[in-house]
Structure formats: structure tokens, C-alpha cells
Amino acid sequence: MQVHIETKRLIIRDLCVEDAKGIFKLDSDPKVHNFLGKKPIKTLGEAVEIIEFINQQYVENGVGRWAVIEKETGRFIGWSGFKFITSSINGRTNYYDLGYRFIREFWGRGFASESAQACLNHGFNKMNQEMFFAMADKNNLASNKILEKIGMSKIDEFQYEAVPHNFYQINKNNWKNSTAVKNILQ
């Protein structure tokens, strides 16, 4: 399993089958899925299928969501990173979507912001991409706040699975000039 990023508090690496219990804890929680279609998983087997699906994205697209490990404890606390979107979402195709999801007990500790900032830094500087996008349920105030905090700009609103969502973007030049990049490099 490949480590892609290390921050002060986090290790961000490829997901592996050993993360299945963590994925199950994350994706079986109805509160975690409140803004994700309200479809929590019910079995450990489904968690393994999620990991296998993401591992296939690594092969097909060279990238996929990554496991986030808390350095201090070595615990799986969620995932963060990119997904290459090939289907049409909000009229766009073939773009990198930034996302994150954390086990509820780790909410409110800044892990989503820290991991998302680090992923953008990696995306612009290691993957050499020019633009990233993200989306969040309009009513998910915490996620929208994180996307704005890391320097992304809301470009429009759209319906995704009949739910209003905000669509964000950031380009390399705006990233370099944002306060978010200054925070990650400190």
C-alpha cells in the first residue's frame, strides 16, 4: 500500500482490505450518510466491495479516494482525496473531484480541512493538475464551510439525485495565492 501524503497529524495512503472494519464503521453510520443519500451500508462485505471498487479506480484512473490514518493512534479515521469523474455531473465530465468522509467521532477536529488541503497540494504539485472540483449537499453546512476554507469557490448550484448541491472549483493559480496553501505549508 502506497503512502501519498503525510501531514502533521495524518498519513494519507491507498485503501486496503485491512481498512474494511473502518470503512464499515464509517459507511454504516446513518448520521454520516445524512447528506449522502441516506443509504448506509449494512455488512462488512459491502465495505470490502467499496475498497475493491476504489482499488479498481487506482488501476483505471491512477487515483481514487485514500485512507486517512491518524498518526498518533494509527487508526483509520476516514478517507480523503480525488475521484476521476467520467460520468456527467452538473454538465461536466472527465474531471477530478475532491472529497472526504470521516468517522463521526473524528468530526470537528479539523481532519477534513487538513486532509483536503494536503490533497490539493498533492494534486497541484505532484499530479500537476490545473483544476479540481468538489460538490456538497447545500444543507451540509460543515462540508460547504470546509470547501470554502480550503480556498475553493462556489461556481453554481445544481440538483444531484433530486437534492440541491453546491458545485465548487479551484485552479492552480488561485490555490497558490490562497491563504489555504499558506496554512498547509506552515
3-state secondary structure of 44: helix
Count CB-CB contacts under 10 A for residue 74.
Answer: 8
Mean pLDDT lowest among 89-93, 95-99, 179-183: 179-183
Give 137-153 pLDDT, tens digit per residue. Answer: 999 999 999 999 999 99
Reduce the DSSP state of residue 69 to 3 states and report it.
Answer: strand
Topology classification of domain 3-132: Aminopeptidase (3.40.630)
pLDDT score of 186: 44
At 120, the pLDDT band (50, 70, 90 cuts) reads: very high
Q: What is the pLDDT of residue 179?
A: 65
Q: Are 165 and 157 in contact (CB under 8 A)?
A: yes
Q: Which residues pair with 163 in a beta bridge?
A: 160
> What is the pLDDT at residue 180?
61
Answer for the pair 149, 113: CB distance below 8 angstroms, yes or no.
yes
Dig out the grid coordinates for 150 from the structure.
480550503
pLDDT at 175: 85
DSSP secondary structure letter of residue 148? H
Q: Is the pTM of this model over 0.85?
A: yes
Q: What is the pLDDT of residue 87?
A: 94
Segment 114-118 mean pLDDT: 96
pLDDT > 60? residue 182: no
Residue 62: other Cβ atoms inside 10 A: 10
Quick one: average pLDDT of 81-109?
A: 96
Mean pLDDT of 25-49: 93
Q: Return the beta strands (E) in 14-152 as ranges.
A: 65-70, 76-85, 95-102, 131-137
Give the per-residue pLDDT at 185.
46
The pLDDT value recorded for residue 176 is: 84
> Which of 99, 84, 171, 82 has the alpha carbon at shortest distance from 131?
171
What is the rounded average pLDDT for all residues in the chain?
93
**Average pLDDT for 154-182:** 88
